[in-house]
Homo-oligomer: A and B are copies of this chain.
């Protein structure tokens, strides 16, 4: 049995950090070796730090609870690479410091996602974009940063990928009904969401309209050429704990049919499945029969939260086709996405024992 890689977590006490801790509990390749937080009380253990804000249904693993939380400085964190769940407000400098110091940074934060030399990775969709990593040496970094996309972008690109490959895409409209866990803690006040809908999420729509184009783009001579179609997003917050629901309409470039698109969705499989990455679900995308699926309560846990669910594919009188999608926002859309990225980058040799 191989010696596990030592993984640090930046922003370990926040909502995404807690999910990293939870999902890495029994990881076969990685073990949590260091916990960093941007605001820390000197000398506090992780258990003390999260006492009043731990929101996972599983308790803090005792070993992690006893670990000390440190400042986010590379020289005091003993690890082979780090996951970052930092707030965007502080992530820019901290992640750069770690990358400069030689550390692979697997980030869930938005700051570097759209930089031309930083891969915005979904292992089932664009694993080849990992080839951007060596370009970051030009920044003078000994390590690197690799990012995963926004929580709506992930299920969207996973369902669009097989359609794009087979039929091309010219237009995509996406409407989201997003879970409260996406806003962190304390996040959405209950007075704003009980018996209510909020028809806006700050900064979300621009991400959903741009990130998928980079992810679905092609790598040509060291540059990502963004995919060539238009996306329009309308994002809403709803009273759901976990699981983002999407309604998607789209136009294909080639003439096709509901039956053919459905077949493409059902047959979708990809590199993480072939490599048997530990966090890769057996099926990255499932198509569910029945008009009432996918729905958060029944489907968000599919594949341990890593499978995207699709359903209700039918003709759209305006754009051609429409369907419903569902993805677990804090697993497939955040911490789980980053972990799968790390697994891919380890397998591809970008992350190693130091």
Listed in ascending order, the chain A residues whose CB lies under 8 Å from chain B are 51-52, 54-58, 171-173, 175, 177, 180-181, 185-200, 202, 209, 230-232, 234, 236, 238-241, 245, 247, 249, 290-298, 300-301, 311-312, 316-319, 322, 324
Contact = CB atoms under 8 A, between A and B. Distances in A.
A298 B55 contact: yes
A189 to B, nearest CB: 4
Given A58-B301, A236-B247, A324 B190 contact: no
A294 to B, nearest CB: 7
Contacts of A58: 301
Contacts of A319: 173, 232, 318
A318 B172 contact: yes
Nearest to A173: B318
Contacts of A185: 189, 191
A298 B51 CA distance: 13
A300 B57 CA distance: 8
Contacts of A241: 191, 194-195, 297
Given A190-B188, A295-B199, A234 B249 contact: yes
Contacts of A172: 318
A297 B240 contact: no
